[in-house]
Structure 1
Amino acid sequence: MAEPRNRYSTVSLILHWLIAALVVTQIGLFIAHELTEGPISREFVSIHKSVGLSILVLTLGRLGWRIANPAIPLPDTMRRWEKLLARGTHVLFYAFLIGMPLVGWAASSAGGRDIQWFGLFAWPLLPIEGGREVAGQLMDMHELAAKALYVLLALHVAGALKHHFIDRDNVLHRMIPWIPRRP
């Protein structure tokens, strides 16, 4: 009988950490936008849009990969509620990492604001009207989702650290392979 996989595939690892780095970048870009004014502030917003759309594309790719390559089974030592919380957290991550860029894209589209993907090409706008009012409502949703995402990120990191330092299992090793595997 083949031994079950004990870590995620290289593709899964690359997508996970690349998307994580881009999410952290988004937070930094938003803070930089808030702390500046004028053309530099607008440049931070432009980059924020490009990174957000990149997160959308990468997350859709990751979801496709995940469907084709199901997740590693969680440890048998985990209680049922922990497994449900872990799976629910992952589902919510997919929802936020797809939904937030879509809402941001819709806001730009409703407001008639062009999106230049890293200055390389014009990203097509969605056929949404409503002007500044609809764009503002969509941005309110986008910002509220960002706050919820912060909570989800904290929960995710806390869970990973709990597994490593309290449960002393190999859950964190599955996503950070250079952490030695415990017997």
Structure 2
Amino acid sequence: MAEPRNRYSTVSLILHWGIAALVVTQIALITASDATEGPISREFVSVHKAVGLSILILTLVRLGWRVANPAIPLPQGNPRWQRLLARATHVLFYVLLIGMPLGGWAASSAAGREISWFGLFNWPLLPLPQSRELAGQFMNMHELGTKALYVLLALHVIGALKHHFVDQDNVLHRMIPFIPRRP
């Protein structure tokens, strides 16, 4: 009988931490945009859009990888409600990490604003009617998604820290390579 996996694959780790870094970058970019005006603010927004589309692509890759390489089960001793909460949190992460970039893309498309992908090419706009009202609705959904993402991030980090410091299990070890495995 094969030994159960106790750590995620290198591909899973790279996708997880790469997307996490890009999400933090998104927060910094939109904060910088809000703190500035004029061309520099618009440049922060332009990079924010390109990073958002990168998150969309990487999340789709990660979802495909996850389908082909299922998650490692939580430790046997975890109560059912914790396993369900962990599962729901991960599903909602996928929904938001796909939905938020799509919403931003739709808002830019409805507003008729070009999306430059890091100055390399213009991302095609979605075939939506040009409407400030429609663009505003997409942006409202995008901003609501941001609030939900903050809640999920907090739950995710709190859950990881709980596993490490309270439960003292190896859940955090599976995603952070330099944390030694506990006996």
TM-score range, shorter chain: over 0.9
Q: In the TM superposition, what is the alpha-carbon distance from 1:21 to its structure 2 partner?
A: 0.1
* Cα RMSD (Å): 0.6
Partner of 1:145: 145
Distance 2:117 2:22 in 1: 15
Show the 5 A alignment for 1:6-45: 6-45=6-45
Q: In the TM superposition, what is the alpha-carbon distance from 1:145 to its structure 2 partner?
A: 0.6
Partner of 2:58: 58
Return the letter of the residue paired with 2:134.
V
Q: In the TM superposition, what is the alpha-carbon distance from 1:130 to its structure 2 partner?
A: 3.8
Which ranges in structure 1 are unaligned for 5 or more consecutive residues?
none
Q: In the TM superposition, what is the alpha-carbon distance from 1:42 to its structure 2 partner?
A: 0.1
Kindly, what percent of the aligned residue pairs are identical?
A: 79
Distance 1:40 1:123 in 2: 21
Partner of 2:174: 174
Q: Does the residue aligned with 2:41 lie in a helix, a strand or coil?
A: helix
Q: In the TM superposition, what is the alpha-carbon distance from 1:177 to its structure 2 partner?
A: 1.8
- CA deviations on 1:99-127 (whole Å, 9 max, x unpaired) are 00000000000000000000000100000
Displaced runs of 4 or more, over 2 A: none
Scaled by the length of structure 1, what TM-score is found? 0.99
Distance 1:40 1:165 in 2: 43
Contact 2:29 2:47 in 1 (8 A): yes
Contact 2:74 2:83 in 1 (8 A): yes
